[in-house]
Amino acid sequence: MLFNRILFVTGRLSGGGAERVMSILSNEFALRDKVVCICCMAEKEESLKSFSITSGVRCVYLGGKSFSKFGLLKRQFGLRKLVKGFKPDIIIPFMVYNAIQVIMSTVAIRVPIVVRITNTLESEISTRFLKRWARLLLKKITGVVYQHQEQKEEFTEHISKPNTIIHNPIETNPLWIKEKDYSQKRIISVGRIENQKNYPLLLKSFAKIVTDYPDWTLEICGEGLLETEIKNEAARLHLHNKVRFSGYVVDVFERMHNASVFILSSSYEGMPNALIEAMCMGCACITTDSSGAVRTLIEDGINGIIVPSEGLESLSNAMCRLLSDDKIRKQIGQEATKLRDKFNVSIVTDEWEDFINTLI
Residue 48's pLDDT is: 46
Residue 69's pLDDT is: 58
> d(Cα 70, Cα 65) in Å, to the nearest integer?
8
- Give the global pTM: 0.85
Strands 284-288 and 217-221: unpaired
Secondary structure (3-state) at 245:
strand
Q: State how far the alpha carbon of 51 is from the alpha carbons of 244, 300, 342, in Å.
A: 23, 32, 23
> How many other CB atoms are there within 10 angstroms of residue 241's CB atom?
8
122, with CB counted inside 10 A (0-12, 13-18, 19+), is exposed
Residue 118's pLDDT is: 86
Residue 264's pLDDT is: 96
Q: Which of 276, 322, 335 is nearest to 184 (CA)?
A: 322
Q: Where are the beta strands (DSSP E) in 17-97?
A: 35-40, 57-61, 90-93
Residue 1's pLDDT is: 57
Q: Which of 172, 189, 179, 255 is nearest to 224 (CA)?
A: 189
Domains detected in the chain:
5-169+344-359 (3.40.50.2000), 174-342 (3.40.50.2000)
Give the sign of the dihedral formed by CA 46, CA 276, CA 271, CA 305: negative
> d(Cα 13, Cα 15) in Å, to the nearest integer?
7
Would you give per-residue pLDDT tens digits along the chain (360 residues)? Answer: 589 999 999 987 776 778 889 999 999 999 999 999 999 887 765 444 546 788 889 999 887 555 555 667 888 889 999 999 999 999 999 988 888 889 989 999 999 999 998 877 777 776 777 777 777 777 889 999 998 888 888 888 778 889 999 999 998 999 999 999 999 999 999 999 999 999 999 999 999 999 999 999 999 999 999 999 999 999 999 998 999 999 989 899 999 999 999 999 999 887 888 999 999 999 999 999 987 788 889 999 999 999 998 889 999 999 999 999 999 999 999 999 999 998 999 999 999 999 999 998
Residue 340's pLDDT is: 94
Residue 230's pLDDT is: 96
Q: What is the pLDDT of residues 250-285, one digit of tens each?
A: 899 999 999 999 999 999 887 888 999 999 999 999
70, containing H or E segment: helix 69-86
Residue 66's pLDDT is: 54
78 contacts 102 by C-beta, under 8 angstroms = no
Q: State how far the alpha carbon of 36 is from the alpha carbons of 28, 79, 87, 88, 252, in Å.
A: 10, 15, 11, 9, 26
105 contacts 76 by C-beta, under 8 angstroms = yes
Query: DSSP secondary-structure letter at 90?
Result: E
